[in-house]
């Protein structure tokens, strides 16, 4: 059996207080789905969920002692996941709830940094529950709300029954501006089918090829400088691998704190394979993913989500990586 | 596992496997300790199995979930589980609940001479012998490990940012001192002579403090996290997992600073995942990530014998009986071996 076949998928569930995370967790635990899910909740969470498969955690964020300042991980998660892996019954998935204000990055990074966690579990997707009524004002007032949207692979836009259609469109646009590649599911009472939330494999590089991000040039009109926004680039000229590695490595090293997520498919000169990568802050996973499909034009595509992206000379940097 | 053994004819059954009892329990072995000439082993389904020579092992249903930790307490064992229970279990199978934390896990347990300790989250609970109510010792972060020194006077508690050492003063009040080092500290142990304290960290490194002057240093070079380490009983060596060799740091004389460890190699380049000293000898049992277990003399690497062959699952527990006659081995797939060590 392949190592990856035995990895239990872990979904990170985030979202502002009152958005509907607990509603979703209760559904996951009580619906008749024939699956065994463990849920890791914050001990100071909104309300108690009573179930044998609920584990209390205390969201301890540790700095890794490896000289990398933005490399923070969830120490409690390392402990709890390795404990869960000793269970007699095999879990179909694990869901980690983060509190409304917590940055989901340390949770995601835990899966890149700890060897035991990486061997036995895999980060499946970051699911953000957003309150359609209050999201716009929350984004204005709390940078965490913006960050949760930025990190999400799936965004459940919840409570749409309480919002007028035209306002749903406004909120959707706002989300798209921050995060062009998340899948947005509109729900009332978080009523989306679980198969659209769990076991998505959103962090596998293969999956990035299947669900190609929406590479529309994003708007670029800033209201204030610390807005989280996204920028994307496309090039039909093949890239020079060495130049790209130099530029991109240095970029993540120096600006990794502001760059929240990156995804890309790259076409390098003199290489037959497509290169796919994705990152959370300065941690990155990259690999060649087989030959380019014959009926498809080769091109490089790159998306950044983060703060202060317009100060990083991303366009110039990317252009300079093109081979002559 | 016969098909696997056929694929690897060179790893045929060892004589220890032939004369011992092998079980396929199918649930991870999480811990094992010796109580006299018996071994108690804990499993991922909450059962405890007690192995004694000459009789069939006893199976006790102790916890509702994973047994996370185990310690010897006289003729009994203490166990902590992910069901929140802290239990005391006697050799004849009597189970007593000491306390129950509900949905909070009991992560670590320890005992010295009837004084019982467990940790749940950031709090250590200490039951003085003959006292009903525990004393709570609070910490700022979740506890990574607990250890008494050889005389039971000091209790080391590892956590994020270092170790807290608790001790009762002459008026029976708890006093603590701190040893600081940035990062997350897991398993902790005093050297048997009480002069050193060692922790394994989240990074692939061990931290050591010389307690007389708090001088601290790292023991590094590991390819993975050091999950298992122990001192040889005369403090001559600290033996550790975390590499493809068993790593033995010299602690005699002036200690390990500036000295190189002895690295004991094993065939197949597999990671050493569990290490258990052979009592009162400069020798170790090393369990590997493929399930094999070797017995080696530290100062003579040529003197290595295979105890258990390949099972395909990492060794997670090794314990030897007090009389040094028998050994128990368990792995993450629940394959166990209980065998006598000496030829009849």
Interchain contact, A87 vs B44, CB within 8 Å: yes
* Least confident stretch, A5-14, A74-83, B1-10, B61-70: B1-10
**Shortest distance, CA B169 to any CA of chain A (angstroms):** 32
Tell me if chain B has a CB within 8 Å of the CB of A47: no
CATH number at residue A303: 3.30.1220.10
| pLDDT at res. A90 | 86
Instruction: Judge whether B298 and B248 are in contact, CB under 8 Å.
Output: yes
Residues of chain B with pLDDT under 70: 1-11
Choose between A109 and B272: higher pLDDT: B272
| pLDDT at res. A223 | 46
Instruction: Judge whether B213 and B188 are in contact, CB under 8 Å.
Output: no
Q: Do A154 and A74 belong to one domain?
A: yes
On chain A, the residues whose CB falls within 8 A of the CB of B107 are: 79
Tell me if chain A has a CB within 8 Å of the CB of B91: no
Interchain contact, A65 vs B225, CB within 8 Å: no
CA dihedral B91→B93→B99→B103, nearest 10 degrees, is 120
Instruction: Burial-class residue B27 by CB neighbours within 10 Å (0-12, 13-18, 19+).
Output: buried
Instruction: Judge whether B184 and B199 are in contact, CB under 8 Å.
Output: no
Q: CA-nearest residue of chain A to B332?
A: A86
On chain A, the residues whose CB falls within 8 A of the CB of B103 are: 54-56
Specify if A211 maps to a domain: no
> Which structural domain range is residue B214 located in?
2-340
CATH number at residue A26: 3.40.50.300
Q: Do A186 and A247 belong to one domain?
A: no
> Which structural domain range is residue A225 located in?
217-319
Interchain contact, B202 vs A114, CB within 8 Å: yes
Average pLDDT over residues A30-42: 87
C-alpha triplet B35, B41, B47: angle, nearest 5°: 125
Boundary of a domain, candidates A175, A203, A231: A203
Boundary of a domain, candidates A176, A203, A230: A203
Specify if A324 maps to a domain: no
CATH number at residue B64: 2.130.10.10
CB < 8 Å from A in window 278-297 of B:
none
| pLDDT at res. B339 | 96
Q: Which percentage of chain A shows pLDDT scores above 90?
A: 35
Closest CB to B44 among A63, A86, A115: A86
Q: Are strands B145-148 and B154-168 parallel, antiparallel or unpaired?
A: antiparallel
Closest CB to B82 among A75, A83, A116: A83
Nearest to B165 by CA among B116, B204, B202, B124: B124
What's the CA gap between B258 and A72, in Å, rounded? 32
On chain B, the residues whose CB falls within 8 A of the CB of A86 are: 28, 30, 44, 66, 68, 332
Average pLDDT over residues A155-170: 94
Q: Name B49's bridge partners.
A: B41, B59
User: 3-state DSSP call for residue B6?
Assistant: helix
**Shortest distance, CA A100 to any CA of chain B (angstroms):** 21
Q: Do A199 and A231 belong to one domain?
A: no
Interchain contact, B45 vs A58, CB within 8 Å: no
Tell me if chain B has a CB within 8 Å of the CB of A58: yes
Which DSSP string corresponds to B25-48? Answer: --S-EEEEEEETTEEEEEETTSEE
| pLDDT at res. A44 | 58
Best residue in A76, A78, A88, A90 for a mutation probing chain B (most B CBs within 10 Å) = A88
Specify if A292 maps to a domain: yes
- Is the pLDDT at A218 greater than 70? The verdict is no
Interchain contact, B68 vs A52, CB within 8 Å: no
Q: Quote the strand ranges of A163-272, DSSP E.
A: 183-186, 228-235, 259-266
Boundary of a domain, candidates A181, A203, A225: A203
**Shortest distance, CA A6 to any CA of chain B (angstroms):** 13
Q: Do A143 and A239 belong to one domain?
A: no
pTM above 0.80, yes or no: yes
Structurally, chain B folds into a number of domains equal to: 1
Instruction: Taking each helix axis as running N to C, give the angle between helix A143-151 and helix A105-113, from 0 to 180 degrees, rounded to the nearest 10.
Output: 40
- Is the pLDDT at A47 greater than 90? The verdict is no
Structurally, chain A folds into a number of domains equal to: 2
Q: Do A182 and A256 belong to one domain?
A: no
On chain A, the residues whose CB falls within 8 A of the CB of B27 are: 88
Q: Do A54 and A97 belong to one domain?
A: yes
User: 3-state DSSP call for residue B85?
Assistant: strand
A246-273: pLDDT as tens digits? 999 899 888 888 898 888 889 999 999 9
What's the CA gap between B47 and B63, in Å, rounded? 7
Q: CA-nearest residue of chain B to A41?
A: B103
Closest CB to B142 among A55, A60, A116: A60
**Shortest distance, CA A56 to any CA of chain B (angstroms):** 6
User: 3-state DSSP call for residue A86?
Assistant: coil
B111-164: pLDDT as tens digits? 999 999 999 999 999 999 988 999 999 999 999 999 999 999 999 999 999 999
- Is the pLDDT at A1 greater than 50? The verdict is no
B168-210: pLDDT as tens digits? 999 989 999 999 999 899 999 999 999 999 999 999 999 999 9
Q: Do A183 and A237 belong to one domain?
A: no
| pLDDT at res. A221 | 46
Tell me if chain A has a CB within 8 Å of the CB of B276: no
Closest CB to A86 among B28, B184, B224: B28
Would you report the helix, strand and coil content of chain B in percent, each value rounded to 5?
5, 55, 45
For B300, residues 6+ apart whose C-beta sits below 8 A from its C-beta are none
Interchain contact, A58 vs B184, CB within 8 Å: no
| pLDDT at res. A226 | 60
Q: Do A27 and A74 belong to one domain?
A: yes
Tell me if chain B has a CB within 8 Å of the CB of A63: yes
Tell me if chain A has a CB within 8 Å of the CB of B44: yes
Instruction: Burial-class residue A11 by CB neighbours within 10 Å (0-12, 13-18, 19+).
Output: buried
Would you report the helix, strand and coil content of chain A in percent, each value rounded to 5?
30, 30, 40
| pLDDT at res. A256 | 85
Choose between A109 and B221: higher pLDDT: B221
- Is the pLDDT at A212 greater than 80? The verdict is no
Q: Do A188 and A281 belong to one domain?
A: no
| pLDDT at res. A222 | 43
Tell me if chain B has a CB within 8 Å of the CB of A212: no
On chain B, the residues whose CB falls within 8 A of the CB of A52 are: 64-65
Interchain contact, A115 vs B183, CB within 8 Å: no
| pLDDT at res. A214 | 52
Closest CB to B105 among A66, A83, A87: A83
What's the CA gap between A317 and B12, in Å, rounded? 59
Q: Do A70 and A142 belong to one domain?
A: yes
- Is the pLDDT at A155 greater than 90? The verdict is yes
Tell me if chain A has a CB within 8 Å of the CB of B64: yes
């Amino acid at each position: 059996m392949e190592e990856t076949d035995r990895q239990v998928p872990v979904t990170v569930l985030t979202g502002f207080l009152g958005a509907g995370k607990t509603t979703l967790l209760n559904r996951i635990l009580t619906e008749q789905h024939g699956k065994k899910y463990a849920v890791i909740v914050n001990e100071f969470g909104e309300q108690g969920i009573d179930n044998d498969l609920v584990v209390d955690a205390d969201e301890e964020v540790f700095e890794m002692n490896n000289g990398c300042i933005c490399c923070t991980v969830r120490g409690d998660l390392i402990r709890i996941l390795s404990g869960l892996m000793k269970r007699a019954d095999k879990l179909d998935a694990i869901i980690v709830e983060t509190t409304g204000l917590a940055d989901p990055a340390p949770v995601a990074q835990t899966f890149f940094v700890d060897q035991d966690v990486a061997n036995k579990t895999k980060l499946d997707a970051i699911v953000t529950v957003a309150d359609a009524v209050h999201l716009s004002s929350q984004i204005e007032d709390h940078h965490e709300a913006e960050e949760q949207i930025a990190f999400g692979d799936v965004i459940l836009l919840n409570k749409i029954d309480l919002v007028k259609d035209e306002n749903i469109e406004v909120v959707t646009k706002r989300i798209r501006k921050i995060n062009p590649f998340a899948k947005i599911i509109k729900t009332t009472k978080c009523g989306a089918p679980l198969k659209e939330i769990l076991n998505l494999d959103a962090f596998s590089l293969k999956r990035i090829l299947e669900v190609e991000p929406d590479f529309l040039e994003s708007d670029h009109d800033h209201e204030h400088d610390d807005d989280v926004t996204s920028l994307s680039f496309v090039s039909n000229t093949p890239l020079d691998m060495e130049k790209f590695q130099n530029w991109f490595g240095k970029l993540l090293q120096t600006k990794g704190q502001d760059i929240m997520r990156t995804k890309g498919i790259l076409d390098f000169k003199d290489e037959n394979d497509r290169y796919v990568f994705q990152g959370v802050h300065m941690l990155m996973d990259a690999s060649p993913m087989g030959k380019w499909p014959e009926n498809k034009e080769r091109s490089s595509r790159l998306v950044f989500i983060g703060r202060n992206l317009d100060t990083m000379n991303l366009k110039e940097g990317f252009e300079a990586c093109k081979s002559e | 596992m016969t098909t696997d053994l056929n694929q690897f004819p060179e790893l045929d059954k060892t004589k220890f496997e032939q004369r011992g009892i092998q079980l396929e329990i199918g649930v991870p072995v999480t811990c094992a300790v010796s109580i006299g000439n018996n071994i108690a082993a804990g499993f991922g389904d909450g059962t405890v199995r007690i192995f004694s020579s000459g009789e069939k092992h006893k199976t006790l249903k102790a916890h509702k979930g994973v047994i996370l930790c185990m310690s010897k307490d006289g003729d009994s064992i203490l166990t902590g589980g992910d069901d929140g229970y802290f239990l005391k279990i006697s050799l004849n199978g009597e189970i007593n609940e000491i306390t129950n934390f509900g949905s909070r896990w009991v992560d670590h347990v320890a005992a010295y001479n009837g004084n019982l300790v467990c940790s749940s989250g950031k709090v250590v609970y200490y039951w003085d012998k003959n006292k009903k109510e525990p004393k709570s010792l609070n910490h700022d972060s979740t506890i990574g490990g607990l250890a008494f020194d050889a005389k039971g006077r000091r209790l080391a508690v590892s956590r994020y940012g270092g170790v807290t050492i608790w001790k009762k003063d002459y008026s029976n009040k708890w006093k603590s001192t701190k040893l600081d080092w940035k990062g997350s500290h897991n398993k902790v142990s005093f050297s048997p002579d009480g002069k050193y304290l060692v922790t394994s960290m989240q990074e692939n490194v061990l931290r050591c403090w010389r307690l007389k002057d708090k001088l601290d240093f790292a023991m590094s070079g590991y390819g993975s996290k050091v999950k298992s380490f122990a001192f040889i009983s005369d403090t001559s060596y600290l033996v550790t997992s975390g590499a493809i060799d068993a790593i033995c740091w010299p602690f005699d004389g002036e200690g390990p600073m500036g000295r190189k460890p002895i690295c004991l190699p094993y065939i197949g380049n597999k990671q050493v995942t569990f290490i258990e000293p052979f009592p009162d000898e400069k020798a170790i049992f090393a369990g590997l990530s493929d399930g094999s277990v070797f017995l080696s003399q530290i100062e003579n690497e040529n003197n290595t014998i295979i105890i258990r062959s390949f099972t395909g699952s990492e060794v997670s527990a090794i314990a030897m009986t007090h009389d040094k006659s028998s050994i128990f081995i368990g792995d993450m797939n629940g394959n166990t071996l209980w065998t006598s060590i000496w030829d009849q």
